[in-house]
Amino acid sequence: MVVSDSFSNCLKLSGAEQRRFHRQAEEARNERFGNRVFVRGVVEISNFCRENCGYCAMRRDHTGLNRYRLSVDEILNEVVPNLPDFVTDLNLQAGEDPVAVREIAIPLLKILKRETRLGLSVCLGTFRESDYAALREAGADYYVMKVETGNAEHYKSVQAPGSLDERVAAIRQLSAAGWMVSSGFVLGLPGQTDAILTETVELLKALPLAGCSVSPFIPGENTRFSDHPAAGLDEVLNMVAGLRLLMPGRIIPAVSAMSLAGEGGYAGALRAGANLATINLTPERARGDYQIYRRERAIMTSELVLREIESAGCVPSEVGIRDWLAA
């Protein structure tokens, strides 16, 4: 399948045609990965953020939020010992917070690298090359860096971090330095047109990525887009299927916001070719404050994730992402 303007037609599929499209994507996934789904635990280590993205409720100017940082000890004592055994990978995520990189992520990664077999990924934002190197040295090898949108003007208009050029340069730099990189975009972001969507998917296809994601836009409370409609579930799932067919060998996640986008969204994504599920491991006390959209979140617990994986006819992968991609 080539990315072209007809791509946006795929997004509108429904009924029997839609099921056929998803089945095709599921088969493409199965050909490369089987029905295995990687399960990654996510710890939201800090919600401090120096960026000010127009669509995100965690942005710097949102003063109504309690800001927190977890401690390394808290994560080691309360999170790591309770990891279900089907979790092969751990992702440390935060607002763009240099303090969290220095004081939490780097020391924690060093310990996890030494004492566990977990694959270690990070989603922390844009920093200097020496910071990426320190994270990699500490043991992480998978960097999540979203482009949000593939059009430079649109990128600027939603106040995404820095410029699209800088973001793309960071992705290339990380990949050249040996990281597995995952990127992605927000479907239904205000101002997005079919042409912008096509441009975005083309950009993602061309970038040196191990993973690629689509997140449904959810209007964030206290953002200037709070009255803008959320992305529709069918479009999101059709996009998952489209990504799988265009990029059959990449890691494509089912994101928890898909269950916010509609009933059955999570398993639906796995049935449309996604092959990564995430479990939220952030301690209870902090979860409500990690507010990308609003306080109510779709928290994926391990029971819930296992049930969704099973209902999609899949099984948790026994092998982590790094070992799979290296094999």
Which residues here bind ligand 5AD, judged by CB under 6 A? 55-56, 146, 148, 186, 215, 217-218, 220, 257, 292-293
Residue closer to ligand 5AD, measured from CB, 148 or 235: 148
Question: Please, what is the minimum distance in Å from the beta carbon of residue 73 to ligand 5AD?
Answer: 26
Question: What residue is closest to ligand 5AD based on CB?
Answer: 56
Residue closer to ligand 5AD, measured from CB, 97 or 148: 148
Residue 273 to residue 28: CA distance in whole angstroms = 7
Residue closer to ligand 5AD, measured from CB, 46 or 317: 46
Question: Please, what is the minimum distance in Å from the beta carbon of residue 291 to ligand 5AD?
Answer: 10
Question: Please, what is the minimum distance in Å from the beta carbon of residue 40 to ligand 5AD?
Answer: 15
Q: Looking up tokens 């751990």, which residue turns up?
A: 90
Residue 95 to residue 74: CA distance in whole angstroms = 19
Residue closer to ligand 5AD, measured from CB, 215 or 317: 215
Residue closer to ligand 5AD, measured from CB, 112 or 218: 218
Question: Please, what is the minimum distance in Å from the beta carbon of residue 105 to ligand 5AD?
Answer: 16
Residue closer to ligand 5AD, measured from CB, 86 or 142: 142
Residue 251 to residue 258: CA distance in whole angstroms = 17
Residue closer to ligand 5AD, measured from CB, 42 or 314: 42
**Amino acid identity of 180?**
M
Question: Please, what is the minimum distance in Å from the beta carbon of residue 184 to ligand 5AD?
Answer: 7
Residue closer to ligand 5AD, measured from CB, 26 or 96: 96
Question: Please, what is the minimum distance in Å from the beta carbon of residue 6 to ligand 5AD?
Answer: 26
Residue 249 to residue 251: CA distance in whole angstroms = 7
Question: Please, what is the minimum distance in Å from the beta carbon of residue 158 to ligand 5AD?
Answer: 9
Question: Please, what is the minimum distance in Å from the beta carbon of residue 94 to ligand 5AD?
Answer: 9
